[in-house]
Amino acid sequence: MNHDSTEAFALPADGLAALASPDVQRLAARMAQDAFTRIFRLTLERDDGALQAAVAEIERLGRNWTRAAAGEDARALRLAMLVSGIDQWGLAYCQAFGLTAIPGVTALLGALRGGLDAAADARFQQQFAAIGQVECDAVDFKMELRRSIHMALWHAMIACDDRDEALPILAALGGMLVALIGQMPVVGWRLASEALAHIQLRCLTDAAAVRPLALETTQELFAALRRSLPRERYEPMLAQANQALIAWQQSRRGLH
C-alpha cells in the first residue's frame, strides 16, 4: 500500500522546504530510524564495545550528511531533523516499554551535538524549534517519522506472547495516535487513518497478525481510538482507512 491517501490532499506550503526538500526530509526520518534501531538492538544485546563503535560511526555519518547541505541553515536543519527523529523514537520506546532512558540514544544525541560551536548550536536550536512550531513545516519528515514509529510499535505489540507485555505497548500506541490528532489537526488524523489501513492490511496478509493475542490487542486498539476520539473525527478516519484497504484489494485483484 502506498501513501497516496495521505499525500494527495493539498497541504499548506512547507516553510522549511527551501532548506530541506521533501526527499531530504524523508531521508532524515529514515536515517533517524536506522540509527535508533541499531542503537536499541545493541543496547538490548549489552555489547558495550559494539555500542560505542556504533555511536561513533553514526555520529560520523550523520555529521558528513549534514555538512553536505548547501548553507549553514540547511546544515542546521538536517542535524535538527536527525536529532529530533532519534529523540522521538527513543521517547516512543521508553513510553511503550516502560524505560526511563536508553543510554546509547542519550550518548548518540550528545555526540551529534557535541562538536558544535556557539554559533552553530544557536542555528541548530533555531531549526530544531522551527520543526515543531508550524504543523506543515518539515511535514514530509514528520509523516515519514510518525508512520514508521506507529507501525514499529504495532509490530512489537503483535509479537508479544504475554498479554501483560502487549498491553503497555497498546496503551502507548493508542495514546500516541490520539495525541497526534490533537497536535497535528491537518495531518494527524490522516496519519492515524493510514496506520489503521496498514494494520488492517497486515491482518489480511500476515499470519502473525491474526494470532489470538495479536488479534485481541489490535481490536482493542481500534476500540480505544473509538472511545477516545469524538465520533465526528473517528468515523471519517476509519472510513478513509477502509477506503484505502478496499483500493488495495481491488488493485490486487486487477493483477490476477
What pLDDT, on the 0 to 100 scale, is given for residue 256? 54
Cα 196 to Cα 239: distance, rounded to the nearest angstrom: 10
For residue range 165-210, list pLDDT tens digits in order.
999 999 999 999 999 999 998 888 888 998 999 998 888 888 888 8
Q: How many residues does the chain have?
A: 256
- In this prediction, residue 4 carries a pLDDT of 45
Q: How many CA atoms are closer than 13 Å to the CA of 72, on its beta-carbon side?
A: 10
One DSSP character per residue, 14-80 reads -TTTTTS-HHHHHHHHHHHHHHHHHHHHHHHHT-HHHHHHHHHHHHHHHHHHHHTSSSHHHHHHHHH
| pLDDT on residue 254 | 63
Q: How many CB atoms lie within 10 A of CB 82?
A: 26
pLDDT along the chain (256 residues), means of 10: 50 91 97 97 92 95 95 97 98 95 94 92 97 94 95 96 95 95 89 90 86 94 93 88 81 65
Cα–Cα nearest to 6, from 133, 138, 195, 182: 195
Q: What angle, rounded to 10 degrees, do the helices at 48-67 and 103-114 form?
A: 40
Say what the pLDDT of residue 186 is.
Answer: 87
Nearest to 1 by CA among 147, 119, 103: 147
Alpha carbon distance 159, 152 (integer Å): 11
For residues 54-78, b (16+ Cβ closer than 10 Å) or e, as one string? bbeebbeebbebbeebeeebbbbbb
Alpha-carbon Rg for the chain in angstroms: 19
Contact 65, 78 (CB under 8 A): yes
Q: Which three cell numbers stand for residue 172?
A: 502507548
